[in-house]
Chain A
Amino acid sequence: MSLLGVRDLSVAIGALMPVDGVSFEIAPGETFALLGESGCGKSLTALSLMRLLPPAAHIARGEVNFDGRDLFSIPESGMRELRGGGMAMIFQEPATSLNPVMTIGDQIGEVLRLHGGRPGRVSELLEAVGIPDPERRATEYPFQLSGGMKQRAMIAMALAGEPKLLIADEPTTALDVTIQAQVLDLLKDLQRQMGMAMLLITHDLGVVARMADRVGVMHGGRLVEVAEAKAFFRGPSHPYSQRLFAALPENLAKPASQPQDQTLLEVDNLAVHFPIRRGFLQRTVGCIKAVDGVALKVSRGGTLAVVGESGCGKTTAGKAVLHLLPPTAGTVQFAGQAVTTLAPRQMQMVFQDPFGSLNPRLRIGQIIAEGMRAQGVAGEVGALLEQVGLEASMVARYPHEFSGGQRQRIAIARALAVNPQLLVCDEPTSALDVSVQAQILRLLRDLQDSRGLAYLFITHNIAVVDYLAHNVAVMYLGRIVEQGTVDDVLRNARHPYTQALMAAVPRIDGIVGQRLLVPGDPPSPANPPAGCHFQPRCPHALAVCRETYPEATALSGSHAVRCHLFAA
């Protein structure tokens, strides 16, 4: 007897049918993952189970049975008892999904009151989701909690009604990998303890591999494949599922281009500090050391990946290299010349957000020609568009006529227009679906081969690093903690943080292995811990770690690490 039975569910928005005839079942205690790329209808499916569709959408046909009841024939008042009671939901963005002006305790207490729980259970619940000092946390507001903590509080809220089914809509997508690992583990533990079923909605094959018992793959509003997770990862049967696997960066064929020996970009002791002003005179009482003494080298035709979690200062460092942000200290040398004001045209940037990086009021041709005009470089816009895999006839169109991947190609063409030798790429694929990401990565690789481009590639995605980079620098709280070749860092990581980062990445082979789970959240760069910044979370912390920040130790000609464990 299944807990949830969905039969032929279809959701309509106007004339469109974004969910079209979806059928699946979930057994009690089971985890069913709904996998798909953006716009495939997976979130709408989840919302229609709660009957919380946005006003524009409505259920066109189908039937949902939950716990022996026909969901679509229950009156709205009865539905309210089910929501939060029978089934609960957690959302992607913990930052916006909590009421900003209500305390965590009040928000959880609300569920307890509604669904007959004891009011005193608030701190029990907070403790159960691993929030330390629950009594105090219950009196705090969402903005006082870190992103991971907020998502834990969301989970506590969902559990408060002791639901039989937990719907988790991309629960870890907004979180960093180390936090994602913590939250996934927490969800798994809680599910086991409470015997809940879980509908996990995600785009991430790694998350599916770690969590799911069974998988449903959605594409274009339809459920194209339903399979046992083990069988699915051994060999997916639907062509679309196979394409998804093939597009994973770790499955892309890695060409063997090698950088030249010549150094193109050399950054030394780079620092960007933002002052913190307080008091009524707005005196500077301290500063946020977003970037704090970073040294980098990029060779001609090579790729250096800067890896780190959000807030580690990697984007700030990238902008400071181009002098888009004024550095507080340090030197940037490009092709032997010191960069002091604005970076030379040979250095350009590709941004993260394909929707924010193109001026919506200009035509594609004007966008690409802007740099050429400003720098007095001759060139042909049409030819550039063809180089990035678009058509020359597209020059007269506006950005809104293009998809995210196409826009990112346009942004790359714009940067290429002034014949740069180095591109600073700031998470250029993190807003894209995995299949589109694969195309952009291949394009970047091809351009490197054909033009001898060098990349300073800023990312949080380890799999992408492995495909694209020659060298890797790992950043934590404004400093580089480990640096070396791809093999040095990814396969022979020595710094405990790097090791934790590698272990936290969900792998599709499902190997969980001996995991090093780092506890806690990254500290604030405004108030870094004494000594080594990582020491409060480090499983191997020594006494000396609490006192001094470690100097760099060279482990080999290419591999360096800043950790007391390896100090000579």
Chain B
Amino acid sequence: MKPVLLWSDALFFLLIAVAVGGAWWGRRQAHLRAGWAQVWTSRRARISAVVLGIFFVIGCVDSLHYRPLLPQEEGKPPAHSVEVLSALDALLMPLKANTEKTYSAPLANELFAKETLDDGSRGFPALKYPGAHVFGTDKVGQDVFYLTLKSIRTGLLIGTLTTLIMLPAAVLLGIVAGYLGGWVDDLIQYLYTTLNSIPGVLLIAASVLMMQVIIDTHPDWFATAAERADARLLALCAILGVTSWTGLCRLLRGETLKLREMEYVQAARAFGVSRLAIMLRHVLPNVMHIVLIAVVMDFSGLVLAEAVLSYVGVGVDPNTISFGTMINAARLELAREPMVWWSLAAAFVFMFAMVLAANLLADAVRDAFDPRAAK
């Protein structure tokens, strides 16, 4: 077995480390502690957090990648499979490995379509693993439950890494524009107004198309298909980040403009405190609640966006398992007679659970940290 650290794994774990570190640091900050304490008073928020927590654990387990050792042949050095698996695959090996021939309904004992059986009559062939597929199987006989679990990581990555990528730029530019003003402000405002005026989906579509060209014309950059799919996923996050930082940047600029006139900032200026120190000590901590709210609010939108983009054809790599690719594959199944509904239903249930939990938690966070929501 040979461990593989994909870029997205590294960033995902970095993100979790940052979150844990932030939480540890925040424990000692009275206002943060009070805010979170208020979040936890809501039962809705606690349940949502637990649900999201389970999703995150699944995502983490699914981010420990490795290449399994191939059965060693006599006289040859040990070789590793080109297929990259994750710890989740190892845990779910029976689900992953127990494939059927084609569609089968949830918990069914036989295939979904009639075939000519061994004895020459037409009928439903028996499944190899009857009753084992809680959500049935898809066209190529893969377990739908397994696919859904694998989709979780993709959704989480898109929802979190995008924010991680765009956050530094949005915070830096927003505060600098608001505090320094003048031509710096003009330039940054021009930059985000221009980016903002390109319709989001189209900018993403154009960027993804271009990125596809790069990836396709440089097949030599990637050792495995997993690495290529990973690069595409990260690039998608980056592109989503570029198109979504403008909103937060504008918010932060506006807030900084207000803070700049606050008397404590003026007092610091009267002491001759440098502009950088003022931005770091006085402005940044006082806009952090906006950043926190933006991060939790954006998450659900990004998960939803992934599905749409993948459907449009500018989302994740078609080989990456995600809610979007599942829905995309499932929509033709609805037209079948009788209908194959379970892949869609499974994707719907899991995606709905994830987005709803994120939205409810985001609401609680906003109520707790937004001074305007305090009533």
A and B touch in the complex (CB under 8 A): yes
Interface positions of A (Cβ within 8 A of B): 56, 319, 322, 324, 342-343, 345, 347-349, 351-353, 356-362, 367, 370-371, 374-375, 398, 400, 411, 414-415, 418
Is A418's CB under 8 angstroms from B271's CB? yes
For B263, what are the chain A residues with a Cβ–Cβ distance below 8 Å? Answer: 351-353, 356-357
Interface centre among B30, B277, B282, B375 (most CB of A within 10 A): B30
Bound-state CA distance A342–B277 (Å) is 16
CA distance A371 to B263 in the complex (A): 14
- B277 surroundings in chain A (CB, below 8 A): 374
Contact: B267 with A357, CB < 8 Å? yes
Cβ-defined contact, B267 with A349, below 8 A: yes
Partner of B272, one of A351, A360, A374: A374
Contact of B270 among A343, A356, A361 (CB under 8 A): A343
Asked if B30 and A398 sit within 8 Å, CB to CB, the answer is yes
Contact of A370 among B29, B266, B273 (CB under 8 A): B273
CB-nearest residue of chain A relative to B29?
A: A361
Within 8 A of A (CB), among B275-300: 277, 281-282, 285-286
Tell me whether A374 and B271 are in contact (CB under 8 A): yes
Cβ contact of A356, chosen from B262, B272, B274, cutoff 8 A:
B262
Which residues from B are CB-within-8-Å of A349?
266-267, 270
A351 touches B267 (CB 8 A): yes
- Can you show 5 pairs from A to B with CB atoms below 8 A apart? A351-B263, A351-B266, A361-B29, A371-B271, A398-B30
Chain B nearest CB from A440 CB (Å) reads: 16
Residues of A within 8 A of B44 (CB): none
Q: Which of B264, B272, B281, B286 lies at the interface centre, i.e. has the most chain A CB atoms within 10 A of its CB?
A: B264
Taking the closest CB of chain B, its distance from the CB of A9, in whole angstroms, is 25
- Contact status A342-B272, CB under 8 Å: yes
Would you call A345 and B281 a contact (CB within 8 A)?
no
Question: Closest Cβ of chain A: how far from B375's Cβ, in Å?
Answer: 8
The interface residues of chain A lying within 8 Å CB-to-CB of B285 are 359, 361-362
CB atoms of B281 and A362 under 8 A apart:
yes
Would you call B268 an interface residue if the criterion is a C-beta within 8 Å of the partner chain's C-beta atoms?
yes
Complex interface: chain B residues within 8 A of A398 (CB)? 30-31
In the complex, whether B331 has a CB less than 8 A from a CB of chain A is no
Interface residues of B (CB under 8 A from A): 29-31, 262-264, 266-274, 277, 281-282, 285-286, 375
Partner among B262, B271, B281, B375 whose Cβ is within 8 Å of the Cβ of A375:
B271
| Nearest CB of B to A37, in Å | 23
**In the assembled complex, which residues on chain A have CB atoms less than 8 Å from the CB atom of B375?**
56
Closest Cβ–Cβ distance, residue A455 to chain B (whole Å): 15
Query: A427 CB to closest chain B CB, in angstroms?
Result: 11
Say which residue of A319, A359, A400, A415 sits within 8 Å of B264 (CB atoms). A359
Q: Write the nearest CB–CB distance from B144 to chain A, whole angstroms.
A: 48
Minimum Cβ distance to chain B for residue A110 (Å)? 27
> CA of A371 to CA of B262 in the docked complex: distance in angstroms?
17
**Is there contact, CB below 8 Å, between B272 and A358?**
no
Alpha-carbon distance A351/B261, docked complex (angstroms):
12
Contact A370:B286 (CB < 8 A) given known A356-B263, A357-B263: no
The A interface is mostly helix, strand or loop, or mixed, namely loop
Question: Considering the chains assembled together, what is the distance between the CA atoms of A455 and B143 in angstroms?
Answer: 80
- Nearest Cβ in chain A — how far from B369, in angstroms? 13
- Distance in angstroms from B170 CB to nearest chain A CB is 20
Rounded to whole angstroms, the CA-CA distance of A362 and B277 in the bound complex is 13
Q: Do B272 and A414 touch across chains, with their CB atoms under 8 A apart?
A: no
Instruction: Write the nearest CB–CB distance from A337 to chain B, whole angstroms.
Output: 15
Query: What CA separation (Å) do A411 and B277 show in the bound complex?
Result: 19
Cβ-neighbour of B266 out of A324, A367, A374, A418 (below 8 A): A324
Chain B residues with CB under 8 A of A343: 270
Q: Are B270 and A322 in contact (CB under 8 A)?
A: yes
Please give, as numbers and ranges, the residues of chain A lying within 8 Å of B268 by CB-CB distance: 370, 374
* Cβ contact of A361, chosen from B31, B271, B274, cutoff 8 A: B31
CA distance A374 to B273 in the complex (A): 6
Contacts of A375 in B (CB 8 A): 271-272
Alpha-carbon gap, A203 to B277, bound state (A): 41
A32→B154 CA distance, assembly (Å): 69
A482 to chain B, nearest CB (A): 29
The complex places the Cα of A345 from the Cα of B268 at a distance, in Å, of 11
Which residue of the partner chain B has the closest CB to A377?
Answer: B271
Beyond A348-B271, A370-B273, list 18 extra A-B contacts (CB 8 Å). A322-B270, A342-B269, A348-B270, A349-B270, A351-B263, A351-B267, A356-B263, A357-B264, A357-B267, A359-B264, A359-B282, A359-B286, A360-B31, A361-B29, A370-B271, A371-B273, A374-B268, A398-B31
Is A414's CB under 8 angstroms from B286's CB? no
Report the bound CA distance from A63 to B263 in whole Å. Answer: 45
Which residues of chain B are near A374, meaning CB under 8 Å?
Answer: 268, 271-274, 277
- Roughly how many angstroms separate A414 CA and B266 CA in the complex, as a whole number? 13
A362: chain B residues within 8 A (beta carbon): 281, 285
Q: Which of B267, B272, B375 has the most CB of A within 10 A?
A: B267
Complex alpha-carbon distance, A398 and B285, angstroms: 14
Provide the residues of chain A in CB contact with B266, threshold 8 Å: 319, 324, 349, 351
Which chain A positions have C-beta within 8 A of B282? 359
CB distance from B183 to the nearest CB of A (A): 14
Chain A residues near B271 (CB-CB < 8 A): 345, 348, 370-371, 374-375, 418
Knowing A349-B267, A352-B263, A398-B30, the reply to whether A359 touches B272 (Cβ < 8 A) is no
* Pairwise interchain contact B264-A345, C-beta atoms closer than 8 A: no
CB distance from A346 to the nearest CB of B (A): 11
A285: shortest Cβ distance to chain B, in Å?
A: 21
Q: How far is the CA of A362 from the CA of B266 in the complex (A)?
A: 15
Residues of B within 8 Å of A414, CB to CB, are: 267
Q: Which residues of A contact B262 (CB under 8 A)?
A: 356-357
A348 to B277 CA separation, bound complex (whole angstroms): 19
CB distance from B179 to the nearest CB of A (A): 14
Partner of A324, one of B30, B264, B270, B273: B270
Cα distance A345–B273 in the bound complex, in angstroms: 11
Please tell me which one of the listed residues A342, A345, A361, A411 contacts residue B267 in the complex, with CB atoms under 8 A apart. A411
Q: In the docked arrangement, what's the CA distance between A371 and B271, Å?
A: 5
Residues of B near A56 (CB, < 8 A) are: 375
B161 CB to nearest A CB, Å:
28
In the assembled complex, the Cα of A356 lies from the Cα of B286 at a distance in Å of: 12
Complex Cα spacing A56 to B271, Å: 42
Distance (whole angstroms) from the CB of B283 to the closest CB of chain A: 10
Query: From B289, which residue of chain A is reached at the shortest CB distance?
Result: A361
Query: What's the nearest-Cβ distance from chain B to residue A160, in Å?
Result: 31
**Closest A residue by C-beta to B262:** A356
Alpha-carbon distance between A361 and B33 when the two chains are bound, in angstroms: 12
